[in-house]
Structures are given as C-alpha cells and as structure tokens.
Amino acid sequence: MKKIYYFIALIAITAFSACNPLDKTYKDLGSLPAPTTIYPVTSTTITLTAADYALLPKSNTATKTLSFKTLDSAKAGIPIILAAKFPTAGDKSSALVTYGITNPTFKPADSLYSHVYYAVVTPDDYVAAQGITNTTFKDYSDAQVLLFLTFKYPTPVDNQLVVLNYTYYASGITPSSGVNATDSFIYLNGAWVKIYTVSNAQYASAGHGNYNQFVTADAPATIVGYINTFLKSDPTVAATAKVGDVKYVSYNYYISSGTSKGTYQRVQVVTFDGTNWVTTPIGSTALTFLKTNGTWVADNTVNYKLTSADYAFIKTTTVGVSTARDNVAQYGDFNITTPISATIGWSDADINSVIALILAHDYPNAVANQKFVITYAVYNGSTISVTKTFVFDGTTFAIPK
C-alpha cells in the first residue's frame, strides 16, 4: 500500500511541474529594468577651503589664489567643486557657498588720451554699419552700440578702451529721437563691455568742472573716494549694488609735467563691500547654488524693493495716465483703491507693465530665465507691500503664467 501512495505522489509532482502556469508569465515579462537610484535632496552651507579649490582643473587660477576673479568665474567653477563634493545630492538640492574674491585689476592697452579711440558716430557711420540699424533712425540701443564697435574696430586688442559719442535710444526710456551720450567701452575677455563713465556734472561736484578731469594733485586714494561718492549717489547703481559687484570706472586725467605730461583716459576698478566701493580686498562673499537636471547652477534670483528713484522713473514712461504717474512718483505707492480712480488709480495690468519697464531700466544685463522677486507699495486706504515674481525671457520681463 505504501508503494502505491509514493507512486501517486510522484505522478502529482510531475504533472504540476510540467504545466507551471508562471513559466509563460516570466517569459512575457522579459528582463527586468535596473532599479532606479533616488538621490536625497540636501541643503548645505560651506566655506571653500584649499582642498575644495584643488578639485578644480589645474588650469583654473583659483587653485593658486584660492579665490575667484569675477562672479562669472565663481558661477563656472563652484559647480565643479560641488559635483565632486556632493555626487549623491538629488535635484532641488541647494548649497550656500562662501568663496574668496580676487580684487580685479585693469591696465588699458594705452590710456594716453590721444591714443584712446575717441570717436563720434557720424551720420555716415550709421549708414556704413549696415545691418545694425536702418538708415532712418540714426541712433543705437545698448545692444546695437556693441555691434557698432565690432564693426568699427574689427581687430581690437585686449583691454582696448574706446570713448564713444553717439545718439542713444531705449524704448520707453529715452525720447523717440534719442539722447546724446558719451560712454566708455573696453574690450574685455573677447567682448566689448560698456563701463561706467564719470560725467561732467560729477567732475563739477568734485570741484573739477572747469576742465572735466582729475589732475596729478589728486592722490589715487582721493580719486577712489570721488568715485565711491559718485557710485553711491547714482541711483542706477545704488539701487542694485550687491556685495562683490565690480565696476570699471572711466575718467579723464591730466599730468601737468614731466615726460608723461599729457591727458589720459584712465580706468579704475572698484568692488562693492556692502557699504562702499573700494580697491582693497573685501575677502569673501556667498552665493547660492541649486541642483537642476543633475547640474549645479548659480541661483541668480534677484530680490528687489522699488526705490524712490524707481517711482520717479515712472513719470518718464507712458503707462497709464499722466496724473496717475505723477501721483505714484509723489507718494511712492500705487493707488489701487476700488473702484479704480480714472485720474490716479492703477490697474494690476498697468502695474505689471510699468514694473517691467523699471526692470528693463535697472537691469539691462539680465539673462534669460532670470527671476526677479519685486516688492512694491500700494495704497488701498492704507499703504501695504505687495510682492510679485517676474521672469526675463531674454527680451521682456513678465509674470510667468
């Protein structure tokens, strides 16, 4: 009897293994995909050390100076360091990085005034530089004047300085006929860059209005002091100045005697330390980086509160009605009481439009996809603050949809 039981059990096992229904299922599934690695989102704060700078390519000067010369060089170099230090940080991770700053220096190719490329853009120049602007409007925008310099000086040398007189036009900012402008440009790192030029009014404020130039009696520290005052008093600079910002300042200088006697156009480099524009090293500054699509990038979001200069600028625009523009310039807030006043009221659309113009004026060098978190004052029976986020799309500033 026991043999019969063993025989029946053997038949059952054989039958079950011969028709295992899961065999077909496993074949249909095929090979299983590799498991997905999920990296954690992290937030860290670090100060770069010599060991961190050593993670950069040896060709990067920061490996020796333990500092970056410019904000752009920091934005390019620090992601390399972060990628090496935090390889498992997931997207949306952030890092607040404190790094050293190398004070920049600048030596013009030749600053003797008679050698500086001082030029007046003539009507013939506007015609000759075809493709930059049409021959009807003999003026240049910020972008067009840089194209003109490329046309005018096809083989520039490093640190070449040009002082250019031309008709400047900016939509919504200058009159339609443009304004006469004298600006300085340097050829820096392979591109023409517009720099700050001391104005006649600024020379006059420093007691040098007769000839609109500094002289040998002005000690270098005195000239830097003047420049610091000029930049701090200029609302277009003061409104956006951040620690570590660098300004190249062009000024006229006269040497009254000796073998170097003559007039020069000089360039002074200054860095903002949070209070003053200085030539002494400011040590270090911090920058936030975010990891996006597997890559560390500098967070260039600008947080900005409209200033009295911005509200005054609104008077020069054409948004809304003139009485409303006068009102906001006078009181420093947008009147949004309901119902909206026909004479002093501001609709939300008009506020957005005029802030876009302010941003275009204050941030002419904004980069595509850069965010601007703007705080401004409104009046609706009492004065309150409102915050909106604008994004520059490469052409205009707008609130993202």
Per-residue DSSP letters for 323-361?
HHHHHHHHHSSEE--SSPPTTTB--HHHHHHHHHHHHHH
What pLDDT score was predicted for residue 24? 53
Of 192-196, 255-259, 360-364, the range with the lowest mean pLDDT is 255-259
40 DSSP 8-state letter: P
Of the candidates 168, 185, 178, the residue with the CA atom closest to the CA atom of residue 118: 185
Place 398 in a pLDDT band, splitting at 50, 70 and 90: very high
Are 48 and 83 part of one and the same domain?
yes
Same domain, 146 and 192: yes
| 138 shares a domain with 79 | no
- Whether residues 330 and 350 share a domain: the answer is yes
Over the stretch 121-132, which tens digit does the pLDDT of each residue have?
777 777 777 666
Q: Residue 175 corresponds to which tokens in the numbers above? A: 């009159």
243-246 CB contacts, 8 Å cutoff, 24+ apart: 243/272, 243/273, 243/274, 243/282, 243/285, 244/71, 244/101, 244/271, 244/272, 244/282, 244/285, 245/71, 245/271, 245/272, 246/70, 246/71, 246/104, 246/270, 246/271, 246/272
In terms of domains, do 23 and 71 share one?
yes
Q: How many CA atoms lie within 13 A of 19 on its CB side?
A: 4
Residues 351 and 363 in one domain: yes
The Cα–Cα gap between 159 and 145 comes to: 18
Q: Cα separation of 240 and 235, whole Å?
A: 9
The total of other beta-carbon atoms located within 10 Å of residue 258's CB is: 8
Distance separating alpha carbons of residues 76 and 72, to the nearest angstrom? 6
In this structure, is residue 105 part of a structural domain? no
* pLDDT for residue 252 is more than 90: yes
| Per-residue pLDDT at 357 | 96
Average pLDDT over the chain reads 85
Task: Give the rounded percent of residues in the chain with a pLDDT score beyond 70.
Answer: 86
Tokens, residue 331 = 């009181």
pTM: predicted TM-score of the whole model, two decimal places: 0.51
Q: What is the mean pLDDT of residues 21-49?
A: 70
Q: Could you tell me if 311 and 174 lie in one domain?
A: no
Sign of the four-CA dihedral 299, 142, 165, 178: negative
Please tell me the predicted confidence (pLDDT) of residue 341. 94
- Note the helical H segments in 36-178: 50-53, 62-65, 71-85, 123-128, 142-152
Q: CB burial class (10 A; 0-12, 13-18, 19+) of residue 114?
A: exposed
- Which amino acid type is present at position 101? I
The pLDDT tens digits of the residues spanning 178-207 come to 788 889 999 988 889 999 999 999 999 999
Residue 32, classified by CB atoms within 10 Å of its CB into exposed (0-12), middle (13-18) or buried (19+), is exposed
Amino acid at 31: S
Q: What is the CB neighbour count within 10 angstroms for residue 376?
A: 21
Q: What is the band of 380 on the pLDDT scale with cuts at 50, 70, 90?
A: very high
pLDDT of residue 40: 85
- Using the Cα atoms of residue 240, residue 363, residue 145 and residue 153 in order, give the sign of their dihedral: positive
User: Residue 99: its pLDDT value, please?
Assistant: 93
Q: Are residues 79 and 171 located together in one domain of the fold?
A: no
pLDDT at 383 over 80: yes
pLDDT at position 11 over 70: no
Task: Return d(Cα 203, Cα 336) in angstroms, integer.
Answer: 42
Total domain count, the chain = 3
Whether residue 109 is contained in a domain is answered as: no
How many CB atoms are located within 10 Å of the residue 176 CB?
A: 8
156, 273: one domain: yes
Q: Which domain holds residue 19?
A: 1-99+283-299
- As beta bridge partners, residue 46 has 97
Higher local confidence (pLDDT), 389 or 286: 389
pLDDT over 70 (residue 33): no
pLDDT of residue 321 exceeding 70: yes
